[in-house]
Structure 1
Amino acid sequence: MRKLVIYLFLFVSTVTLAQNANELFLSANSLYKEGKYEEAIKLYEQIEDENLISSEVYYNLANSYYKLNKIAPTIYNYEKALQLDPLNEDAKNNLIIARRLTLDRIEALPKSVLQKFNKNYLQKFTYNTWAIITIVLSFIASILFLLFYFAYTPNKKRTYFTTSIISFLLLTTSLIITYTQYNQAKKNIEAIIFIEEVPVNNEPTDNSNDIFTLHEGTKVNVLDSVDNWKKIKLADGKIGWVKTEILKEL
């Protein structure tokens, strides 16, 4: 009985939070339409603080920052929107426009055929989506195998056997993709520079040499951390160290 009460309390709390978040979202949207961007940002970020996030929340938050000409948080929130929904075309298009405001022009290293295929097709879905596809395929493969096992006529057995083999092959492929995408997501830590201009050092010390300069809104990959320093890598292959507080990880 006690567990039932706890579950009911958690359910009611979740529903209440969701309703509050929806009301905040609608209020923030109204403020945005009225041109009250700073007030809208406060409400969107309140939703984020309550951990009731969505691609739409980050997208609208980015739009609000864009209206205030704040480059770093604009790009950061478009990137967050795409993390949650890689198929969000509006966020993707607006991110391209926002990146034109950055000062750094970094040419990415050429990608191999497999890397291009991974980026253009496999990464269209998150590893969570691939995991769902894997589960669905496992059910389909199991059902087809059972139909093959209990089928009586040779034609049906042949059909179910062929389709179950194809399903198992697709299942194995999707499982490999899910595992690969998960590992890439965990290893590939990206961040946005949040300082107007920052020198990048060759070592994680205050008295080390500056090797190049970055500006706000530039996206980097975080490779390592030492004390209050982060080792970063750019799309063109350049590597250096910056203070932790100057960037915000995605």
Structure 2
Amino acid sequence: MTPIKQITLTLLAFLFAAVSLHAADRDAELRSAEKAYADGNYPAAAEQYEALIKNYGDAAEVYYNLGNAYYKLGRIAPAILNYERALVMNPGDGDTRFNLEMARQRTADRIEPADGFFGRAYRSVQHLLSVDGWAAVGLICFVAFAGCLVLFFFSKWMRLRKTGFYLGLLLLFVTVMANVFAWGERQDLIVRDTAVVFTPTVTIKSSPDRSGTDLFILHEGTKVTIKNTLGEWYEIRLGDGKEGWIPSKDLERI
């Protein structure tokens, strides 16, 4: 074996060992956090899940478990924040969505979306799958669409040609919509323009300063969309269309 090959194999072995050790450490810390939660030691569980995110990066499962720990502690705003972060990464998870709705029931603000039934239905369908999930659906449907084209152009039987034509139209529509939904989920991952109110009560102002006119009051746990930033102020929009300015220290970005 040449020296170069030997060095390469040594480096690969070292890299594999480092990755394996890293994964083993993460698994051990995750089991420790899960045990603390199972034992009812929710403060320790929350602390350990926070450490997991800090040391090993984002993970939908850890955000979900962290949200559960904060919910058990009665800290609704952090619970909602982490459920929302889990859904950004895994939008189709029913358990996370159910727990998020349970946490929202314990908030003071009741905000009805202004986009109506069809807007809510559109978002519900989009959130069924992640970016990768919708991309896979789009790819499968596109391949099937190509097969329908072959059937339509080369089949000798009129019934099969009609089937290929109409089924191809349906598959083309699903392919387009799957790509639209995948793009929407990707934007949610990249832009991160939503946030959760983290103070018990905060007055929303008409302008980005304390002397601005009081518009309305929000309470902790309420989700908002950030439109603009000016110094230490955020311009926000609620689901019902209301807008105003809030100090940035009162929000935590999802």
Fold match (TM-score > 0.5): yes
Give 1:240's aligned residue: 244
SS at match of 1:44: helix
- Output aligned runs, 1:1-250, within 5 Å: 11-103=16-108, 105-141=109-145, 154-155=156-157, 158=161, 162=165, 167-183=171-187, 189-250=193-254
> In the alignment, is the contact (CA less than 8 A) between 2:131 and 2:185 conserved in 1?
yes
Shift of 1:45: 1.0
Shift of 1:217: 1.0
Q: Which amino acid aligns with 2:179?
A: L
For residues 68-113 of structure 1, give each alpha carbon's deviation from its aligned partner in whole angstroms, at most 9, with x where no partner exists.
211210111111222222232222222222222222x333144345
Q: Which amino acid aligns with 2:129?
A: F
Shift of 1:192: 0.5
Distance 2:112 2:222 in 1: 13
Q: Using a 3 Å threshold, how does the CA distance of structure 1 residues 213 and 181 change in structure 2: closer, same or farther?
A: same
- Tell me, which stretches of 5 or more residues in structure 1 are unaligned? none
Distance 2:45 2:246 in 1: 32
Distance 1:3 1:239 in 2: 59
> In the alignment, is the contact (CA less than 8 A) between 2:88 and 2:188 conserved in 1?
no
Distance 1:10 1:230 in 2: 44
RMSD: 3.2
Shift of 1:191: 0.6
Q: Which amino acid aligns with 1:205?
A: D
Q: Using a 3 Å threshold, how does the CA distance of structure 1 residues 113 and 8 change in structure 2: closer, same or farther?
A: farther
For residues 14-41 of structure 1, give each alpha carbon's deviation from its aligned partner in whole angstroms, at most 9, with x where no partner exists.
4433322221111101011112211111
Distance 1:159 1:40 in 2: 60
Choose 139-148 or 51-60, whichever is displaced more: 139-148
Choose 176-185 or 64-73, whichever is displaced more: 176-185
Shift of 1:44: 0.8
SS at match of 1:121: helix
Shift of 1:47: 1.4
> In the alignment, is the contact (CA less than 8 A) between 1:188 and 1:221 conserved in 2?
no
Q: Which amino acid aligns with 1:76?
A: L
> In the alignment, is the contact (CA less than 8 A) between 2:141 and 2:174 conserved in 1?
yes
- Tell me, which stretches of 5 or more residues in structure 2 are unaligned? none
> In the alignment, is the contact (CA less than 8 A) between 2:202 and 2:217 conserved in 1?
yes
Choose 19-28 or 47-56, whichever is displaced more: 47-56
> In the alignment, is the contact (CA less than 8 A) between 1:106 and 1:236 conserved in 2?
no
Q: Using a 3 Å threshold, how does the CA distance of structure 1 residues 11 and 228 change in structure 2: closer, same or farther?
A: farther
Q: Using a 3 Å threshold, how does the CA distance of structure 1 residues 175 and 96 change in structure 2: closer, same or farther?
A: closer
Shift of 1:222: 0.9
SS at match of 1:124: coil
Q: Which amino acid aligns with 2:53?
A: E
Choose 87-96 or 167-176, whichever is displaced more: 167-176
Q: Which amino acid aligns with 1:126?
A: S
Q: Using a 3 Å threshold, how does the CA distance of structure 1 residues 106 and 131 change in structure 2: closer, same or farther?
A: same
> In the alignment, is the contact (CA less than 8 A) between 1:189 and 1:221 conserved in 2?
yes
Distance 2:170 2:238 in 1: 41
Distance 1:204 1:219 in 2: 19
How many percent of aligned residue pairs carry the same amino acid? 27
Shift of 1:212: 1.7
Count of aligned pairs between the two proteins:
247
Q: Which amino acid aligns with 1:154?
A: K
Distance 1:34 1:186 in 2: 36
Shift of 1:184: 6.3
